[in-house]
Structure 1
């Protein structure tokens, strides 16, 4: 049954995504404002399909942030990347530059205000990333980063990538950390399973902390649901 549901979800969601990307092209030509409701609708459709077909739902513990803030989240599956679009107000997500090379989707993502990061691009790439982040802040949008750098399996708690501390220092924003356990029901390999994804939101962490302290606090907060840490 899990296999059948996973296959049906892929057919339904990705068919809708193709239509959404095609609709995003004229919207992107108009401007980011025209893209925001379309992207949110895409995220809501993903939420509906996950719940109706896969039996996967979200439970949020804590208060989600408003306005310009740096959101540092655990990353275990694709699920949370789209759930953030629904939970937050017009989030600007820091993502791998390679994703913005996807035809049509990548161009629309840039127009929407996603923030591509090129880890091998040097100083010029860093400046482009900072400019995109500053535009998001000026618009009062939250910036979402997955500070571990990639998806990790449940139970894994790797150190944060150094880019997180640099972004925290440069932007001067408070940080809200989000722990989650989506990997239990949405594994990187294998069929998806019904269940509830818990997202535990931390209290805001102030800007201006030393690197060791901010990394330690965020690392602890995003791993609050890992085995042995769930309190």
Structure 2
């Protein structure tokens, strides 16, 4: 039954995405950047609601009151493609992602993405890539958009603590924006590179604002990693049967050991 429902959801996506992308391409020229984002967030809502109806993937958001009415840098746990779609649908305000330039070449999805004010990163540029990310980030935040990043860089399996790269905290410090950490357990229902989706409840937990003023990069990165991993053990304790928030084995890289900018890894 799960396989059948997952195949039906895949068919739903195959039909929905090209049609919605064509609609976006036709009307985007009439819309400003924030209106374009709002239109895309509707597609995101249609996807996660389609997953809820077809696959039984329910969701809830706790801590939404922690999101301030100003642009911030959202640093999120990364377990699946679900959160890359759900964050725009569930969290208020215009947002933009830092993503690999190669995503622009995905038919329909990438073409639409290219018409949004996102932050592109070309890793072939080496050290210059991060300078470009900072420049674009300052422009997006000044324009009123929050920036979403995944400090682990790639998706980690349920119950696994990834290495928290310093790019997210460095970015926040360079742009002058505060940080909002996000934890969730989407990997339980939408595992990486798996066709079959599992019915269940995804809990998205929004943490308190972490101020970047007067802080060191190492301190910020460690605080973000500690909050997310402690919260993971609270909302998904079964995934960490022999672990506790105070002994979670969080690994966070320093600015001197990692210059990698966290990006979206959003393949199904």
- Pairwise same-fold verdict (TM > 0.5): yes
Residue 111 (str. 1) matches residue 115 (str. 2): yes
> Which moves more between the two structures, 176-185 or 80-89?
80-89
- C-alpha distance 84-200 of structure 1, shift in aligned 2 (>3 A): same
Aligned to 2:173: 169
Paired with 1:160 and 1:210, the residues of 2 have a C-alpha distance of 15
Residue 192 (str. 1) matches residue 200 (str. 2): no
> Which moves more between the two structures, 93-102 or 139-148?
93-102
Paired with 2:11 and 2:207, the residues of 1 have a C-alpha distance of 35
Paired with 2:212 and 2:178, the residues of 1 have a C-alpha distance of 5
Aligned to 2:40: 39
Aligned to 1:180: 184
Q: 1:69 aligns with which of 69, 72, 78?
A: 72
SS at match of 1:42: helix
- C-alpha distance 130-82 of structure 1, shift in aligned 2 (>3 A): same
The correspondence of residues 61-100 of structure 1 with structure 2, limited to 5 A, is: 61-63=62-64, 64-65=66-67, 66-88=69-91, 89-100=93-104
- C-alpha distance 69-23 of structure 1, shift in aligned 2 (>3 A): same
Q: How far did 1:230 drift? A: 6.5
Deviations for 1:106-158, whole angstroms, at most 9, x for unmatched residues?
34323311212223323443333223212221222111001100111011112
Q: Is the 8 A contact 2:34 2:94 kept in 1?
A: no
Q: How far did 1:17 drift? A: 0.6
Paired with 2:109 and 2:10, the residues of 1 have a C-alpha distance of 18
Aligned to 1:221: 227
Paired with 2:108 and 2:128, the residues of 1 have a C-alpha distance of 24
Q: How far did 1:103 drift? A: 4.1
Q: How far did 1:217 drift? A: 0.9
Paired with 1:91 and 1:218, the residues of 2 have a C-alpha distance of 20
Q: Is the 8 A contact 1:113 1:132 kept in 2?
A: no
With structure 2 as the length reference, what TM-score do the two structures score?
Answer: 0.80
Paired with 1:77 and 1:115, the residues of 2 have a C-alpha distance of 20
Aligned to 1:212: 218
- C-alpha distance 128-211 of structure 1, shift in aligned 2 (>3 A): closer
Paired with 2:109 and 2:47, the residues of 1 have a C-alpha distance of 16
SS at match of 2:123: coil
What is the root-mean-square deviation in Å for CA atoms of aligned residues?
A: 1.9
Aligned to 1:18: 18
Paired with 1:163 and 1:92, the residues of 2 have a C-alpha distance of 16
Paired with 2:122 and 2:161, the residues of 1 have a C-alpha distance of 23
Aligned to 1:133: 137
- Structure 2: gaps (5+ residues): 234-239, 247-268
